[in-house]
Amino acid sequence: MALETPNHTQTVAGWAAYDSSGKIAPYIFKRRENGVNDVTIQVMYCGICHTDLHHVKDDWGITMYPVVPGHEITGVITKVGSNVKNFKLGDRVGVGCLAASCLECEFCKNSQENYCDQIQFTYNGIFWDGSITYGGYSEMLVADHRYVVHVPDNLPMDAAAPLLCAGITVFSPMKDCQLLESPGKKVGIVGLGGLGHVAVKMAKAFGHQVTVISTSPSKENEAKQRLGADYFLVSTDAKQMQRGKRTLDVILDTVPAKHSLGPILELLKVNGTLVVVGAPDRPIELPSFPLIFGKRAVKGSMTGGMKETQEMMDVCGKHNITCDVELIKPDKINQALDRLARNDVRYRFVIDIAGTSKL
């Protein structure tokens, strides 16, 4: 493992956290030359994911400093390797969480690269050449073309950026639960943040009745009026939760903080499924009785493979699904991270890396 290897000759300006204080500061580093399987991307926008917050503060104990976060990246291709046939100069593209995988295991061969046990991420990972990966809080990115997707022409690049993580994170379990081809289900979304708000949009676009479950009563009007949710339950209101018992077919839990799954499981019908996609830094509570007495299932889901990620982008293009974003300049990243820690964002911060928007 090394910060750089000899083929890292391109000097790049970016923004990094240097220690567990989590404070972001300018960082000059080097990226590899564009290889035969690579594309070079001028980064236009990069979303700020809750995972970024965990990494910069080393909440999970795995951060390699300095860390350049960012895995919700949109930009334009400026170089194309000789083996690359599906991208050309000027293409609008996106890069999500994945930077490399083994390409040989059953998961890689079945377009489920995200479950390869040698998966390496867009930042804080170890690339094939042994170098540490740096993410999208930077002006330029070199990526293997197998981990890049096209951004539909009708989607704005800023509001499309969070789809590369938040979007695929909720799309994948929806597809896994047959929600794309079977409209008319009753779907619950726990948490109305970066993941939750796009999950509501997708579930409605796919023809389902949507219930938002939140600790914040103040979000009810926005959930219903702005995002189109049909129902809203305050999870701390025992009477509301009692009325919601056994009403939902599928629930996506997007909350990134410790909480009990017991009351949420009670909302599921018999044989219902709860999918956990949030990533709390402490174990969540899973009581056995709601599982046993409802024949319910709890499963997890992590982003998606590359084929599925492109499908998600195309579906979002078809239904005109984007994320609700607040654009910031790079010098406001620290303030944005502080606000994100307080859940003070509607619903995703996106960094205007290229400075193309009027802020």
* Residue 276 within a domain: yes
DSSP 8-state code for residue 283? P
pLDDT at 257: 85
Is there a single domain that holds both residue 92 and residue 203?
no
Is there a single domain that holds both residue 171 and residue 137?
no
Question: CATH number of the domain that 97 lies in?
Answer: 3.90.180.10
Is there a single domain that holds both residue 42 and residue 156?
yes
- Tens-digit pLDDT profile for residues 145-154: 999 999 999 9
pLDDT category of residue 234 using cuts at 50, 70 and 90: very high
* Residue 3 within a domain: no
pLDDT category of residue 38 using cuts at 50, 70 and 90: very high
State the average pLDDT over residues 221-229: 96
pLDDT category of residue 279 using cuts at 50, 70 and 90: confident
Question: CATH number of the domain that 288 lies in?
Answer: 3.40.50.720
pLDDT category of residue 357 using cuts at 50, 70 and 90: confident
pLDDT category of residue 2 using cuts at 50, 70 and 90: low
Query: What whole-number distance in Å separates Cα of residue 322 and Cα of residue 106?
Result: 32
* Residue 346 within a domain: yes
* Residue 29 within a domain: yes
Residue 93 is part of which domain span?
A: 10-165+304-315+322-356
Total domains in the fold of the chain: 2
Is there a single domain that holds both residue 138 and residue 259?
no
Residue 359 has pLDDT above 70, yes or no: no
Is there a single domain that holds both residue 19 and residue 144?
yes
Residue from 235, 244, 260, 243 nearest 186 by CA? 244
**Contact (Cβ atoms closer than 8 angstroms) between residue 232 and residue 212:** yes
pLDDT category of residue 282 using cuts at 50, 70 and 90: confident
State the average pLDDT over residues 311-330: 97
Q: What is the 3-state secondary structure (H, E, C) of 318-334?
A: HHCCCCCEEEECHHHHH
Is there a single domain that holds both residue 16 and residue 153?
yes
pLDDT at 305: 97
The amino acid at residue 278 is G
pLDDT at 193: 92
- Tens-digit pLDDT profile for residues 54-67: 999 999 999 999 99
**Contact (Cβ atoms closer than 8 angstroms) between residue 67 and residue 51:** no
Q: Which residues contact 43 (CB under 8 A, 6 or more apart)?
A: 73, 74, 75, 136, 138, 139, 140, 141, 353, 354
* Residue 293 within a domain: yes
* Residue 5 within a domain: no
Residue 258 has pLDDT above 70, yes or no: yes
Q: Which of 160-164, 239-243, 277-281, 283-287 has the lowest mean pLDDT?
A: 277-281
- Tens-digit pLDDT profile for residues 77-121: 999 999 999 999 999 999 999 999 999 999 999 999 999 999 999
Is there a single domain that holds both residue 155 and residue 198?
no
DSSP per-residue string spanning 144-160: EGGG-EEPPTTS-HHHH
- Tens-digit pLDDT profile for residues 25-37: 999 999 999 999 9
**Contact (Cβ atoms closer than 8 angstroms) between residue 12 and residue 31:** yes
DSSP 8-state code for residue 223? I
Is there a single domain that holds both residue 172 and residue 296?
yes
Is there a single domain that holds both residue 116 and residue 42?
yes
Q: Where among 300, 330, 348 does a domain terminate?
A: 300
Is there a single domain that holds both residue 256 and residue 329?
no
* Residue 350 within a domain: yes
Is there a single domain that holds both residue 171 and residue 160?
no
Is there a single domain that holds both residue 266 and residue 348?
no
* Residue 208 within a domain: yes
To the nearest whole number, what is the mean pLDDT of the chain?
A: 95
